[in-house]
Structure 1
Amino acid sequence: MGTKVTHKTPLNFIPEALLFDIFGTVFDWRSTVVTHLERVISSKLAFAHANIDATIKSNLATPEAIKHFCSTFAVEWEDYYIDYLFTKDGKPKFADPASANEQRVDQLTDTATTPQSSGAYTTLDTIYSCGLATILSRHGLSQLFTTSEVLSISRIWHNLQPWPDSKAGIEALRELSIVCPLSNGNVRLLVDLQKNSGVAFDMLLSAQLWNGYKPEKRIYVGACEILGIGGKQQWDEYVEECRGKGEEVVEEKQWRKQERGKVAMVASHLFDLRAAKSFGMTTIFIHRPEEIETDIDEYIMNGEDWVDMWVTTDEGGILEVARRLRALKAL
């Protein structure tokens, strides 16, 4: 069901724009990836004779064993991406763009395969393909797949299944606001996800546009500015308007942060929302099965109350967000 969290001051306005996390919030990556891994690994094992250790093959002798293994494998694969972005104590590795490039290259050169990167930016596609090769090697399965097959398998992230409420929920929200993803997924990945799933957004915003990753500040601030909220042009217009009316001008940094409150970040991960909130954005949490539960426990235990809308697992996901915002419009 998810934990019900009440708020002293619930969201009481419709944001001008809703920016969605993609993996876990809009798309059920876990089920899709596990099913795909089961299929490709089962197919290979059926014809693997001398190419695989006998003990490994014995441990994967039944459909149930393969399913359990693939469930664990999928988590390790996602953890590879998380570990690429965060330290063991949960701090972002790439918060400082000046030092990020060297760290990214050093980290990836320690993996089973080394991406050919200029060091300027590494796409999620590359991170996932390197992660897949690394984990296959860890489990003694790398000899089952060619390099091209590993790359093909890793493209499952372009074909994820949406949650049942996602397509209709996004459609309903587009009648109220601008709706788009703000994702660490590279642009081509997001384009393919939209085409393959039928989940249609107003536009696609990828952290690749800023050669970085959430939760870097420039990703959230840049997204707001692309949408015409809290940017330099808007600031200049605000100053001119205040002077024309003889009104006091608010300090620029404060004004820009307040303006970003017109944009809501929607995610099933509190670390994403915590960053967005720190930069002034409104926050909407959608609980999804098996997505980072420890963050929720800490939020509750610490008595935090900064999430502006909280949707539990059994409340309807994105459709529930649309329902609540429609109710505000009717007031």
Structure 2
Amino acid sequence: MAPKTLNTLPTAFVFDVFGTVYDWRTTVSTRISQLLSQKLTSLDAIGAHPSSSSSSSASQNNSKPDLSTPDAISKFSKEFAQEWRDSYKDFVVTHGGTKSPLQSPDINDSQEEVGLNNITPSIPRATDPSEPPYTTVDTHHLQSLRGLLKKYSLFHLFSSSEIQELSRIWHSLKPWDDSKPGIEGLRELAIVSTLSNGNLRLLVDLQKNSGVVFDVLLSAQLWRAYKPESKVYVGSCEVLGVGGKEEWDEYIEEKGGDVKEDEDKWRFKERGKVAMVAAHIGDLRAAKACGLTTIYIERPREDDDLEAGSNYLEEGEDWIDMWVRHDEGGILEVARRLAKLKQNQ
């Protein structure tokens, strides 16, 4: 079954950030490779390069990487970057709970059925003992980086400040070539926001450093949660003025109080005015289960399940509302299609 074609212009777009807007893999692996090369060049000067250690010493630590050539350093840096990213995925699963609906989306699901209670945004307050601790993605990135450097016997090469600086490479990711012009085009059509697990400071820095400008920066941190928890998707719609309690009350008033619709189902359908844009089918599945429109952008090696796209098509699913393939232009293609849709309406 071919992907559907979106035929209604959304009033707002919410974007996944890591992988969808920004090419984290190239940025992170390149920086790691640069730092390792610099460190190892310095060690060469004093005859202390890891490759000069005895074979018996190397055999005692199976995690010691091969850094003997530039190609070996590059290869290891890419693997290290992927492992760092994978640790983030594990972190989200561990800290995010099991509130996300993972079944195929059903427009008849009510708010209660998909766990959409307590969605009011609230910035985490470390001084409030009644609230459970909330770990930001920045904190995770630093902690996991330290662990990986120790795992590969590289921790001693870096000072504390150097590790801190490297952990913030996620604040300086390079966007995909189509991201900036594509988002500029979409901003001419509707409100464009982030919807990321990245904490707010990270998102602010990404925008400043990359020049990719959004109308709004929304983070799961606002709900002390992580995607794919339902309250993140629903809360983002409410913040953008779509499908909230206030909108329901206004709707009732417009109808003169003569409303036979179910409130939860009305709010669910209203959330279809907001489009979630992501390179991860799992993210979109959770968004669709909350009522949002879904736009899938294929990015190289990005989806958590590399077979997710083919599996979706083979199994006859049809809930993705727009599908942009690798060679079709990414976000710029989304803007092009929707600009054409607007002209034809």
TM bucket (normalised to shorter chain) is 0.7 to 0.9
C-alpha separation between the residues in 2 aligned to 1:300 and 1:22?
Answer: 25
Shift of 1:242: 2.2
C-alpha separation between the residues in 1 aligned to 2:67 and 2:23?
Answer: 25
Q: Report Cα offsets for 1:58-82 as digits up to 9, x if no partner.
A: 8201110000000100000000000
Q: AA paired with 2:295?
A: I
Shift of 1:93: 3.4
Match of 1:6 among 2, 6, 11: 2
Count of matched residue positions in the alignment of Structure 1 and Structure 2: 301
Q: AA paired with 1:316?
A: G
> Is 2:290 the partner of 1:316?
no
Q: Cα RMSD (Å) of the superposition?
A: 2.1
Shift of 1:159: 0.2
Q: AA paired with 2:76?
A: F
Q: Give the 3-state SS of the residue equivalent to 2:185 in structure 1.
A: helix
The equivalent residue for 1:33 is 28
The equivalent residue for 1:147 is 160
Q: AA paired with 2:90?
A: D
Indicate how the Cα distance of structure 1 residues 174 and 150 shifts in structure 2: closer, same or farther if over 3 A, else same.
same
C-alpha separation between the residues in 2 aligned to 1:262 and 1:58?
Answer: 49
The TM-score with structure 1 as length reference comes to 0.86
The equivalent residue for 2:118 is none
Conserved? CA contact 1:51–1:144, under 8 Å: no
> Is 2:272 the partner of 1:277?
no
C-alpha separation between the residues in 1 aligned to 2:231 and 2:140?
Answer: 21
The TM-score with structure 2 as length reference comes to 0.83
Q: AA paired with 1:205?
A: L
C-alpha separation between the residues in 2 aligned to 1:57 and 1:17?
Answer: 48
> Is 2:106 the partner of 1:93?
no
Q: Report Cα offsets for 1:247-275 as digits up to 9, x if no partner.
A: x3310110110010000000000010000
Q: AA paired with 1:6?
A: A
C-alpha separation between the residues in 2 aligned to 1:21 and 1:57?
Answer: 35
Conserved? CA contact 2:96–2:225, under 8 Å: no
The equivalent residue for 1:106 is none
The equivalent residue for 1:46 is 41
C-alpha separation between the residues in 1 aligned to 2:224 and 2:34?
Answer: 34
Q: Report Cα offsets for 1:25-52 as digits up to 9, x if no partner.
A: 0000000001000011111122235585
As a proportion of its length, which structure holds more helix?
Answer: 1
C-alpha separation between the residues in 1 aligned to 2:136 and 2:40?
Answer: 30
* Mapping of residues 1-331 of structure 1, within 5 Å: 6-7=2-3, 9-48=4-43, 50=48, 52=50, 54=53, 55=58, 59-86=66-93, 93=97, 95=99, 119-244=132-257, 246=258, 248-292=259-303, 293-331=306-344
Q: AA paired with 1:225?
A: E
Q: Give the 3-state SS of the residue equivalent to 2:216 in structure 1.
A: coil
The equivalent residue for 2:120 is none
Q: AA paired with 2:263?
A: E
Higher relative contact order (CA 8 A, sep 6+): 2
Q: AA paired with 1:45?
A: L
Q: AA paired with 1:126?
A: T
C-alpha separation between the residues in 2 aligned to 1:167 and 1:211?
Answer: 29
C-alpha separation between the residues in 2 aligned to 1:301 and 1:70?
Answer: 35
Structure 1: runs of 5 or more not aligned? 98-117
Q: Give the 3-state SS of the residue equivalent to 1:47 in structure 2.
A: helix
Q: Which moved more, 1:290-299 or 1:318-327?
A: 290-299
C-alpha separation between the residues in 2 aligned to 1:65 and 1:37?
Answer: 13
% of aligned pairs identical? 54
